[in-house]
Structure 1
Amino acid sequence: MTTTGLPAPPTDDLFELRFSSTARGARLARRLASHRVHTWGHRYGSEVNDTVSLIVGELAANAVTHGLVPGRDAQVRLVRLTRERLRVEVSDTRGERMPAVRAVLPAGDEVAGRGLVLVAALCQEWGVSDRKGAPGKTVWAVVVTATP
């Protein structure tokens, strides 16, 4: 317990969650990632929390839309690399469908196609790798959390 009577925030540097490959699962992943970032000291509504929430939301939505394999879950991982950097990872089980940023943004009335453009704009770097120990891929992004 802290001097305020509240439990001390977790000090571990890793958060992992498997979520159902549904829109509801993607929303839950986003909310729980936001909660973990909050417990790591980046309060709800802060730039870091909002950035991580948006990135998790976009990558989780892509995973359940484009990486869906019926009956298979997706996974989100947050890793504090250093005090200044946090890595967001979202994995799905569909390795043959690799994401790519569109060369041209969709027209204003199109509802899809902006997710990875947002991710690329909000993070320090991002990429795709083979999923370790399971079929599929992991889309990751590194977010700056503090001025080095």
Structure 2
Amino acid sequence: MKPQEDIREPGTSHGELCLRLSSTPRGARLARALAVQQLTEWCACPHDSDLARTVALVTAELASNAVTHGGLPGRDFRLTVRLLAETVRIEVTDTRPECLLPATAPGPVGPDAVSGRGLVLVDAYAARWGCSVRDAYTKCVWAEVRR
């Protein structure tokens, strides 16, 4: 699937979580845990539901990419999770707008590769995803998961 342009529907959010987290592996783990915790509170779904697992996986991949490819020393990343009518939208904003996503998800990597599967997983689990640059200092990578 090709990444899509960021098309927002104003006024359709049923809940929103927005946090600044450190651009470290710990910050990425915390993003995943907080996204799932908020989702389970909004939807009253268990932590081990398919929706919670999918949100955890997508959040983990986006946050990990922000830390690995989008981080600068001393700069945090922002996690925003929105509960929409039909989807859960996960946004991760980092401080490297020059490091854009590829036009499409990369192809499969070899079984011995230790990285390179993140966007493939996001592409497989998200209803749609993409990247937008809104200013000269940040980029937002987002994905929407069907509820």
- Asked if 1:74 is matched to 2:77, the reply is yes
Structure 2: how far apart are the matches of 1:17 and 1:105?
A: 32
Q: Is the 8 A contact 1:37 1:43 kept in 2?
A: no
> Could you say which residue in structure 2 is the equivalent of 1:23?
25
> Could you say which residue in structure 1 is the equivalent of 2:119?
116
Helix, strand or coil: the match of 2:32?
Answer: helix
> Could you say which residue in structure 2 is the equivalent of 1:32?
34
Structure 2 CA distance for partners of 1:140 and 1:99, relative to 1, 3 Å: same
What's the CA shift for 1:54? 0.5
One-letter code of the match for 1:110? A
Aligned with residue 89 of structure 1, among 84, 88, 91: 91
What's the CA shift for 1:40? 1.1
> Could you say which residue in structure 2 is the equivalent of 1:141?
143
Structure 2: how far apart are the matches of 1:29 and 1:14?
A: 14
Structure 2: how far apart are the matches of 1:111 and 1:99?
A: 19
Structure 2: how far apart are the matches of 1:52 and 1:98?
A: 22
TM-score normalized by structure 2? 0.85
TM-score normalized by structure 1? 0.84
Helix, strand or coil: the match of 1:40?
Answer: helix
What's the CA shift for 1:86? 1.4
Unpaired segments of 5 or more residues in structure 1?
A: 1-11
Q: Is the 8 A contact 1:91 1:131 kept in 2?
A: no
Unpaired segments of 5 or more residues in structure 2?
A: 1-13
Instruction: Give the 4+ runs in structure 1 shifted more than 6 A.
Output: none
Helix, strand or coil: the match of 1:69?
Answer: coil
| Count of residue pairs the alignment pairs up | 131
What CA RMSD, in Å, does the superposition of the two structures yield over aligned residues? 1.3
Aligned with residue 43 of structure 1, among 43, 46, 51: 46
Structure 2: how far apart are the matches of 1:138 and 1:63?
A: 9
> Could you say which residue in structure 1 is the equivalent of 2:65?
62
Residues 85-107 of structure 1 deviation map (CA, whole Å, 9 limit, x = unaligned): 111101101000012221x2111
Q: Is the 8 A contact 1:19 1:73 kept in 2?
A: yes
Higher Rg of the two aligned structures: 1
Identity of aligned residues (%): 47
